[in-house]
Amino acid sequence: MPPNAPSVQEHHHQPADTLWPALAAHIGTALEAAMARRGQATLAVSGGRSPVPLFEALRQLPLAWARVQVLPVDERCVPPLHPDSNAALVRRHLLQEHAIGARFVPLFDQLPDAPEALNTRDLDELARAASRRVAPLLPADVVVLGLGEDGHTASLFPGAPGTAQALATAEPVAWTRPTQAPHARLTLSLAALRGAGLLELPLCGPVKQSVYRQSLQGEASAERPLSLLLTGAAARPAPPLHVWLAP
């Protein structure tokens, strides 16, 4: 276990479809506690296909969603209606039923023309604007992470252009340009993720669980960005991490 490590708690579920309602209930309890403390709560969620069952479980919870602010953990630099947009995914699968009243704050509303040709200056400007937009919502009370088979979490891709800055910056949002995945990305920085009240990580299948075990047991390394979340800064310990495991 890395020094200054967080509290890590594992939840094992079999079959896998029992994981999602249990995780949703756990998140709901944390959001309710945050609202009881200060009247509102912030939930940051990852995109991709994996969290869809979670979103569909969360939206059935009868929370005071009007006091919940939702933002993406990361976002592909594509137009808001693009099939790969995380914002579109959140609107389609989470902001429905009870959760329709939540306040959703995307990392951007629009992109420059020809987003496939974004250069470093464009990405710097997008990241600065997104940092200004989400800073009032942070620290997030709950962050739902994902984990790629290549070891990336959020859009912190090992070795990708921009990742070193995303790991080092004090700003809440940075950009990365993965070499093995399409689209440049905006992502919450390591500092923003470390500042969260609670981290949730659902993992289905042996490959991702193996990547998680390596991150948990090895030295903290930029080659395994999750491992950097398992080590707190001197002035602030790492947040508690709940890992939800299913076959």
Distance CA 157, CA 6 (A): 22
Q: Quick one: pLDDT at residue 234?
A: 45
Give Cα 53 distance to the centre of its chain. 16
Q: Quick one: pLDDT at residue 235?
A: 54
Q: Quick one: pLDDT at residue 233?
A: 52
Nearest to 160 by CA among 123, 128, 112: 123
The structural domains of the chain, ordered by start, are: 8-246 (3.40.50.1360)
In tens, the pLDDT along 30-74 reads: 999 999 999 999 999 999 888 999 999 999 999 999 999 999 999
Distance CA 235, CA 90 (A): 33
Give every residue of the chain whose pLDDT is below 70, as ranges. 1-6, 231-236
Q: Are 84 and 183 in contact (CB under 8 A)?
A: yes
- Count of Cβ atoms closer than 10 Å to residue 150 Cβ: 16
pTM given for the model: 0.94
Q: Quick one: pLDDT at residue 236?
A: 64
3-state secondary structure 159-177: CCCCHHHHHHCCCCEEEEC
